[in-house]
């Protein structure tokens, strides 16, 4: 019983870390695309 709980909490912990990592990656990607757009638009300014 105690082992089951330990396993479940370990699984939840790993899943939580994965979710936060994925969120961070997506946010970083959006920020990156934003700044790349700014730079690329600036390239045509003269």
Partner 1 sequence: MTDTSADIEVETTGVALPGGASVRDYIALLKPRVMSLVVFSGFAGLIVAPGYLHPLLAAVAVLCIAVSAGAAGAINMWYDRDIDAIMERTKSRPLPKGRISPEEALSFGVTLTLFSTMLMGLAVNWTAAILLASANAFYVFIYTMWLKRSTPHNIVIGGAAGAFPPMIGWAAVTGSVDLQSIVLFLIIFMWTPPHFWALALFREGDYAKAGVPMLPVVAGTESTKRQMLLYTLILVPITLLPSFLGTAGPLYGAAAMLLGLRFIYLSVQVLRDDGVRYAKRMFGFSIMYLFALFGLMMLDRAPGLLSLFGLTGAAG
Residues that bind partner 1 (CB under 8 A): 3, 6-7, 10-11, 14-15, 17-18, 21, 29, 32-33, 35-36, 39-40, 43
Q: Taking the complex as a whole, how short is the minimal distance between the CB of residue 38 and partner 1, in angstroms?
A: 9
What are the CA-CA distances from residue 28 to residues 6, 22, 33, 41 (Å)? 33, 10, 9, 20
- Residue 17 CB, nearest distance to partner 1 (Å)? 6
d(CA 2, CA 11): 14
Going by the DSSP 8-state scheme, the letter that residue 41 receives in this structure is H
In the complex, the smallest distance separating the C-beta of residue 25 from partner 1, rounded to whole angstroms, is 10
């Amino acid at each position: 019983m105690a082992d089951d709980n330990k396993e479940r909490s370990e699984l939840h912990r790993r899943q939580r870390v994965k979710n936060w990592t994925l969120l961070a990656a997506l946010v970083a990607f959006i920020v990156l695309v934003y700044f790349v757009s700014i730079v690329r638009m600036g390239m045509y300014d003269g």
